[in-house]
Amino acid sequence: MLKQNVDLNNKTIFVTGAAGFIGSNLVLELLRSYKNVHIVGIDNMNDYYDVSIKEFRLSTIENAVLKKEDCEWDFVYGSIADKALIDSIFEEHKPQVVVNLAAQAGVRYSITNPDAYIESNLIGFYNILEACRNHVVEHLVYASSSSVYGSNKKVPYSTDDKVDNPVSLYAATKKSNELMAHAYSKLYNIPSTGLRFFTVYGPAGRPDMAYFGFTNKLIKGQKIQIFNYGNCKRDFTYVDDIVEGIKRVMEHAPEKKDGEDGLPLPPYKVYNIGNSCPENLLDFVDILQQELVRAGVLPKDYDFEAHKELVPMQAGDVPITFADTSELEKDFGFKPSTSLRVGLGHFADWYKEFYKV
């Protein structure tokens, strides 16, 4: 295991995408786990999905801050694509650790709305890198994605695999983030770690994700479409496991070392964070509807079979995602382990409460 070299207590931590699904859960975990932290969050609160969910996450953070008198929370309403704004945040708050989770998400949306991805995922990330270059930071951690593996035939996906064949613009922007971070790590000796997340789910998640969209349709009595005739497999990863992985990575910045030529080696790493247990989409949907019935979101006599339709694969999708997390286990002694039934159960309970079903 790696030796911890970043103490997050008494630190200023900048979290982008702080009103997002993963970002808000990370902020809550940092407040729970550390003393005297000052967390600065930014989010543009765009309407890619229901803004009330983002507002719910922010209010949850604000309530948590009230219970932690030694911690500070500053929220900035704005975009990471606004270079002047990012520079002013770094100038004012001088964050020692930066976690970039802001991004335009969604594979299918990138097919019809490419501009949003270039602005947030490329220009926005460039602004973060530039700010880290001009202000000393101990560690930059940023979100990549399992989508960088594209249609790789070899499974499980390893960070040693070649990832030069993205099947969506979203995937291409995430691979670009890794390349940009590597260049900045090499040129400016900025310790950076990229995290390839695998199909994250849980309470207060993103409504564009399958489990959430299925639930919205089932409750209205509409049919759900299951792609590739149900033969897709996904490495579903519960949000708490993702956050625990991020937290451990934050405490371990890649070491600064010189190579044989006397020049710095890039202090740069990439890890997968996934459950390493791909689930068949039909099994996933079956567990989801069972948990929705248990939680009282759907009636006990719900005719599930009448509400599902098997359809072909769609553009930008891949048949399987499967994370090799051996590096994560070796370096941090951690492996995501929340079962699908437990995770979907938590989602079903939250859904019932949030939407007053």
The residues carrying an active-site annotation are: 170
The position carrying tokens 């460039």 is 126
Structure tokens belonging to residue 63: 């309530």
**CB-based burial label for 86 (10 Å; 0-12, 13-18, 19+):** buried
Gap between the Cα atoms of 179 and 307, Å rounded: 43
Pick from 79, 66, 72: which is nearest to 93 by CA? Answer: 72
Instruction: Give the three-class secondary structure for 100.
Output: strand
Per-residue b or e along 46-68, where b marks 16 or more CB atoms closer than 10 Å to that residue's CB: eebbeeebbeebbeebeebbeeb
Gap between the Cα atoms of 357 and 345, Å rounded: 15
Please answer whether residues 196 and 148 qualify as being in contact, where contact means their C-beta atoms are separated by less than 8 angstroms: yes
Pick from 316, 278, 269, 36: which is nearest to 156 by CA? Answer: 278
One-character DSSP codes across 115-155: HHHIIIIIIIHHHHHHHHHHS--SEEEEEEEGGGGTT--SS
Pick from 139, 127, 125: which is nearest to 179 by CA? Answer: 125
